[in-house]
Amino acid sequence: MTAAIVEKGAQAPAPADGETPPPARRKARQRKLDDGPPRWQIYVPLGVYLLFTLIPFYWMLLFALRPSGSTSLVPWPMTGEHFEKVWTERSFGTYFLNSTQVGIASMVMTMAVALAGGYALARFRFRMKNVFMLALLCSQFIPGALMLVPLFETFRGLQLINSMWSVIIAETVFQLPLSMILISGFIKNVPESLEEAAWVDGCSRLRAFAAIVLPMLRPGLIAVGSFAFVHSWNHFLFALMFLSSQDKQTIPVGLNTLIGSDSVDLGALAAGGVVAAVPVVIIFAFIQKWLITGFSAGAVKG
Amino acid sequence: MTALPVAPAPTAPGPPPRKPRTIRPRDTPQPRPTNTQTETHDQERDSTMSGNNSRRPRARTLLALGISASLALTATACGGSGTETGSEGEGEGKIVFWDNNGGVRTEVWKKIITEFEKENPEIDVEYVGIPIADVQSKYDTAIQGGGDSLPDVGMVGTAYLANMVAQGALDPVGDRIEDSPLKGKLVNGMVESVKAAGGEKDQMFTVPTSANQGVLWYRKDMFDKADLPAPDTWENFYRAAEELTDRENNQFGFTIRGGAGSVAQALEMMYAQSGIESFWDGDRTTVNDPKNVEALEKYVALYNEYTPKADLNNDFTKMVATFTGGEVGMLQHNLGSYTDHVKAFGEERIGGLPMPPSSEGGPRTLVSNPVDGMGLFKSSGNKAAAWKFIEFAASAEMNSLWNESAGAIPAHTDAADDEWINKAEPTKAAMESLDDPNTKIVQLPYYLPDWNSISKADTEPNFQKLLLGRMTAEEFADDLAKRLNEAQVEWSEQKG
């Protein structure tokens, strides 16, 4: 809107010297529009929201860093005993590595298949396309727990029980529908004429896709990929059910083992929570710009 | 997909050949239909507009229905019909052991396994820790999946033993115990609990290893400061709850369990106060007996009066954290949280007593707590080695080691006099109350397949309503009793 006003202002008759400011009323209105609402109206709600959001994180850090038995509200004296315990005694080092493998593999597989499927949905018309889209959406209503036994039997038949591939495949399959729909939205935003220009220059469809469309999908791919990774990183059920060896378990399963039937080591639990949260926080800190761009781009067309 | 060319796009040449037949680039014009085709399409359109089912929409509808049906069928597909029967094996090689309280007990189990492997170098035990909250789902999924991914040995609690026995997952172990050094060395009460929970008359499906017991934990230092007697009678308990509460300074006399697990604890409080000695009166439960209802009313009246308001959502983790936070005088929980309390306050500031008797000087009434045990899985291909491991882990020395770590009551009679028990006052007091011939044990119906769903998912929300005053104690007890009576009738019919 500001740009429109500036443009409108530019069309007004120019003052003789070209330096004279616009009339006072217009100037005040301009400043008001430029400044937006008073700052307190932004920072107070943001501050309250942040308080609610950050208190659980503070609680987690407090318990992770203060010694066992301490009731202090500040993590002082600080100790690393809980981190050492979860990382070595409770095998979080191994779990961390396993979660990373599952997260990266399912992210790569999700992105690869979602790109192909999303391209087909965006660029081709074919029979039953709408039914297919509907089926994709409907598949989102089926909870993972309901599919446990059929999936278990399928992986058992494929001899993939207690193999990381069972978790990677299950995570990929469950994330594909939404990822495909999102990616197809991003691809629809890329003008088809750009691809056609590449075809005129002799590119194959695949080459045109790789050279023209793919680079323009970066925000969307980052959004979809990060969600795939974070979902796999946090997901508990498939890892618990399909993996039995201790050295193949993932972080969420490890976290749950810190809660016993009758007792819980809150320090270790909080330290485990920090270990689980740090990669996700780092990923979001780095990609937030792309993430917002990606989702706003996908939101324009569906 | 076969590769047949589609109509060329008029505005762009399109990528060179090899385009699938059934798809075409978006916005590319269709090949012009012949007159006959046009007529057919027009007829279809007309018939649709006139309300008749056209061929295309019907096909789509059918396909959509087909997909929905197949999804539904896949989603609800049944698993295997049971587990395969394994074999005795050579008594050597690898066995897999699932711990039902993985993480918390990992360290002590690894010690036991190391000792076992030293004595039996020909056997290799693979330890797998399962989070306690999900162990039943893990077992169920593995059983439904055919059973070949079940372990050789697993820790199984009486709370879900009946369910696993009903699915045929476990081998009976009674005969094996008769031929082993464990014969006559297991605490009789635990053996009876295991038999009752299995639901197969006198068959034993686990070797009991430990039991738990409800305890009233209290802060000795707070009681001393307020000059209050220990909560060894109900009168002392309620008086302390009131006098230790100072809401202005955020101090409370008691913390109540309002979230997950609330009903089991409420039952413990009800029967201990009412003194009713049996869970069943014929085929009707005594849960809604007026004495129990009165006890329940007194118990829930503590909420938000002498307890924090946030207790409404207390599971055991939050409840123990509230207590160890330092501002609460008493807590009702089992022996398992002893180590947490000692860690928070030190042994000298924490006391633990069994549930007080219903009348001063009278006998105690305690509800049966889940008994943990080791199960031998039917699908095991190495039962001889698996049984050797069970025998070893249930032996006096190892059983004592395990229970010292868990703060629970050992199942091996020879472990009962070990030094650590004499040092751990609450454990000793719990054992003495169990050994007291006057003590009455109310056996909870763990054998009912619906017990877990009734006592958790079905009635825990009602308990929160009760705490909030949206339901009366009588309504709560009647609803619970109705569900239990129905489940009992169903179970009796199934058993003939």
DSSP string, chain A: -HHHHHHHHHHSPPPSSS-PPPPHHHHHHHHHHHH-S-HHHHHHHHHHHHHHHHHHHHHHHHHHHSPTT---SS--S---HHHHIIIIIT-HHHHHHHHHHHHHHHHHHHHHHHHHHHHHHHHEE-TTHHHHHHHHHHHTTS-GGGGHHHHHHHHHHTT-TTSHHHHHHHHHHHHHHHHHHHHHHHHHTS-HHHHHHHHHTT--HHHHIIIIIHHHTHHHHHHHHHHHHHHHHH--HHHHHH--SGGG--HHHHHHHTB-SS-B-HHHHHHHHHHHHHHHHHHHHHHHHHHHHHHHHHHH--
Range with the poorest average pLDDT among A243-252, A285-294, B393-402:
A285-294
More confident call, A169 vs B70: A169
Band (pLDDT 50/70/90 cuts) for residue A101 is: very high
Q: Do A258 and B343 touch (CB under 8 A)?
A: no
Range with the poorest average pLDDT among B374-383, B419-428, B457-466:
B419-428
What was the pLDDT predicted at A29?
A: 62
Range with the poorest average pLDDT among A14-18, A52-56, B307-311, B352-356:
A14-18
Q: What distance in Å separates the CA atoms of residue B433 and residue B364, rounded to the nearest whole number?
A: 8
At position A290, the amino acid (one-letter code) is: W
Average pLDDT, chain B: 84
Sort strands B371-376 and B207-211 into parallel, antiparallel or unpaired.
Answer: antiparallel
| A104-131: average pLDDT | 93
What was the pLDDT predicted at B197?
A: 87
Q: CA neighbours within 13 Å on the CB side: how many for B258?
A: 23
What was the pLDDT predicted at B189?
A: 82
Residue A1 has pLDDT above 60, yes or no: no
* A213-235 pLDDT, tens digit each: 999 998 889 889 998 999 999 99
Band (pLDDT 50/70/90 cuts) for residue B15 is: low
What was the pLDDT predicted at B8?
A: 39
Band (pLDDT 50/70/90 cuts) for residue B68 is: low
Band (pLDDT 50/70/90 cuts) for residue B275 is: very high
In percent, the amount of chain A with pLDDT more than 90 equals: 52
Closest Cα of chain B to A22: distance in Å?
A: 50
* B286-303 pLDDT, tens digit each: 999 999 999 999 999 999
| B389-396: average pLDDT | 96
DSSP string of B310-335, one letter each residue: GGGG--HHHHHHHIIIIIEEEEEEEG
Q: What distance in Å separates the CA atoms of residue B459 and residue A248, rounded to the nearest whole number?
A: 37
What was the pLDDT predicted at B186?
A: 93
Q: What tokens does A190 get?
A: 């890329």
What was the pLDDT predicted at A246?
A: 87
At position A237, the amino acid (one-letter code) is: L
| B127-153: average pLDDT | 90
Determine which of B23, B217, B350, B377 to mutate to test the interface with A (most A C-beta atoms within 10 Å).
Answer: B23
Task: Give residues with Cβ within 8 angstroms of B370, minimum separation 6.
Answer: B157, B158, B159, B211, B212, B446
In percent, the amount of chain B with pLDDT more than 70 equals: 83
What was the pLDDT predicted at A287?
A: 81
Q: How far is CA A212 from the centre of its chain?
A: 25
Select from 1.10.3720.10, 3.90.1010.10, 1.25.40.80, 3.30.1510.10 the CATH code of A82-300. 1.10.3720.10
Sort strands B284-285 and B280-281 into parallel, antiparallel or unpaired.
Answer: antiparallel
Task: Give residues with Cβ within 8 angstroms of B43, minimum separation 6.
Answer: none
What was the pLDDT predicted at A291?
A: 72
Average pLDDT, chain A: 84
* B35-67 pLDDT, tens digit each: 444 333 433 333 333 334 444 555 555 555 555
* Greatest alpha-carbon span in chain B: 103
Range with the poorest average pLDDT among A184-198, A256-270, B231-245, B257-271:
A256-270
Q: How many CB atoms lie within 10 A of CB B41?
A: 13
More confident call, A154 vs B28: A154
Which residue from A149, A259, A266 is facing B131, i.e. has the nearest CB? A259
Q: Do B22 and A261 touch (CB under 8 A)?
A: no
Highest mean pLDDT of the ranges A146-155, A196-205, B231-240: B231-240
At position B68, the amino acid (one-letter code) is: S
At position A3, the amino acid (one-letter code) is: A
Across the A:B interface, residue pairs with CB atoms under 8 Å apart total 170
At position A169, the amino acid (one-letter code) is: I
| B447-469: average pLDDT | 92
Which residue from A131, A147, A240 is facing B75, i.e. has the nearest CB? A147
Q: Degrees (nearest 5) of the Cα angle B222, B226, B229? A: 85
In percent, the amount of chain B with pLDDT more than 90 equals: 55
Determine which of A126, A192, A253, A257 to mutate to test the interface with B (most B C-beta atoms within 10 Å).
Answer: A257
Residues from chain B contacting residue A245 (CB–CB below 8 Å): 126, 128
* A108-118 pLDDT, tens digit each: 999 999 999 99
Residue A284 has pLDDT above 90, yes or no: no
Run of H or E residues at B339:
helix B338-345
Q: What distance in Å separates the CA atoms of residue A281 and residue A57, rounded to the nearest whole number?
A: 11
Domains of chain B: 93-211+370-416 (3.40.190.10), 214-368+443-495 (3.40.190.10)
The dihedral through the CA atoms of A280, A283, A289, A294 has a sign that is negative
What was the pLDDT predicted at B168?
A: 92
Band (pLDDT 50/70/90 cuts) for residue B476 is: very high
What was the pLDDT predicted at B82?
A: 41
